Amino acid sequence: MGSMSELTYAVIGAGAMGYRYGILLQEAGKKVDFIDAWEPNIEAVKEQGGVWVSRDHEGRHLVPVNLYRPEEYTGNPDVWIIFLKQMQLEDMLKRCAHLFKDHQVAFSAMNGWGHFEKINQYFSTDRIYGGTAIIATVLNGPGDVDFIGKKGTGSMHMCAMNEHITDIERAIADDFTAAHMNPEITTDFKGTCMAKIVFNSVVNTLCTMYQITMGQFADYEGSHEMTQQLVSEAYAVCEAAGIPMINSVDEEVESIEYASRVGNPLHYPSMYQDMIHGRPTEVDYINGYIAQLGREHNVDCCTHAFLTHGVHLAERAFQIHHAQEK
């Protein structure tokens, strides 16, 4: 591994969040490569000579990036950053397996739960770092990304899967700090990751079902009560499962409301973006995961179970309307 101050990175999944992390690290002077499997994205980047980057729909400019298919890549990064949809992860890890080496570590702040077991098949527990990213980004299309929020807005947590803070974790956090991503290291792996699942189980799900922005949700007079109900139900199951949470229920509710009202009021969450582009949503790994955890620990998570169906119904309704319009 290179010296801790000179870590090299490769991002698996050049989508909205993969581009956000990779480009900000690149702008902070780090060596970053990107690996992707979406052909229109790869072709657009090769044709354009980079990726178009805007911030809050303004200042669109071309950023040169090194983008490869898994089969073409010959690099040997110190750190893999993994940002894929849950449904795509298994196949992509298989395609990248020949690139993974014992000295490398993996960091992922994907939505939902289920990715760490898959990453663990290729990286030992002491080389996996999980995280949460409260950072809004939109992929407008192939080779075209929009960073939502002013420079330096957004926050993230990171935690070692084995809960031991290491020199490399500190070095990654230093690089994330240089890239204006405001990382905070924690030592409670599952609690850290569950905090983002709970966050997404409110905003992503409800904004998707009702096709509204985070700000429009926050403006609804009943949004506080809805948020409180979903967070309380999720926290009850976390308590039964022995998962300590970093925030109290009230703090979690407040952080969701702040992000919706102040942080990203104009933002349509990623689940909504998946639905309107005809991609399957990750609701089964978010509300569906909370409901499943409830079944395993005899805690009734009926609201989360109901909303899992609600999003699938919204997906179907969207497809039907879309087909009729054609």
Work out the burial of residue 248: count CB atoms within 10 Å of its CB; fewer than 13 is exposed, 13-18 middle, 19 or more buried.
Answer: exposed
Average pLDDT rounded to a whole number, residues 128-147: 91
What is the rounded average pLDDT of the residues 165-170? 96
Average pLDDT over residues 232-259: 94
User: Which pLDDT belongs to residue 2?
Assistant: 46
Measured distance CA(261)–CA(193) in Å, rounded: 23
Average pLDDT, the chain: 94
pLDDT level of residue 114 (50, 70, 90 thresholds)? confident
Q: So what's the pLDDT on residue 4?
A: 54
Q: Which 8-state DSSP code applies to residue 4?
A: G
For residue range 139-155, what is the model confidence (pLDDT) as tens digits?
Answer: 999 999 999 888 888 88
Q: What is the pLDDT of residue 180?
A: 94
Summarised one tens digit per residue, pLDDT across range 81-92 is: 999 999 999 999
User: Is pLDDT larger for residue 150 or for residue 48?
Assistant: 48
The arithmetic mean of pLDDT across residues 93-98, rounded, is: 98
pLDDT at position 207 over 70: yes
Asked if residue 196 lies in contact with residue 133, where contact means CB atoms within 8 angstroms, the answer is yes
pLDDT at 5 over 70: no
**CB neighbours of residue 182 within 10 Å:** 15
Residue 1 pLDDT grade (very low, low, confident, very high; cuts 50, 70, 90): very low
pLDDT tens digits along 289-313 = 999 999 999 999 999 999 999 999 9
Judge whether residue 3 has pLDDT over 70. Answer: no
* Beta-ladder partners of 61: 53
Across the range 186-198, mean pLDDT stands at 92
φ/ψ of 236, rounded to 5, equals -60, -40
CA 286 to CA 113: how far, in whole Å? 7
Please compute the mean of the pLDDT values over residues 126-137 and round it to a whole number. 91
- Report the C-alpha gap between 132 and 183 in whole angstroms: 9
pLDDT at residue 273 greater than cutoff 70: yes
Q: Would you say residue 255 has pLDDT above 70? A: yes
Domains of the chain, with CATH numbers?
9-187 (3.40.50.720), 191-322 (1.10.1040.10)
Per-residue model confidence (pLDDT) at position 322: 84
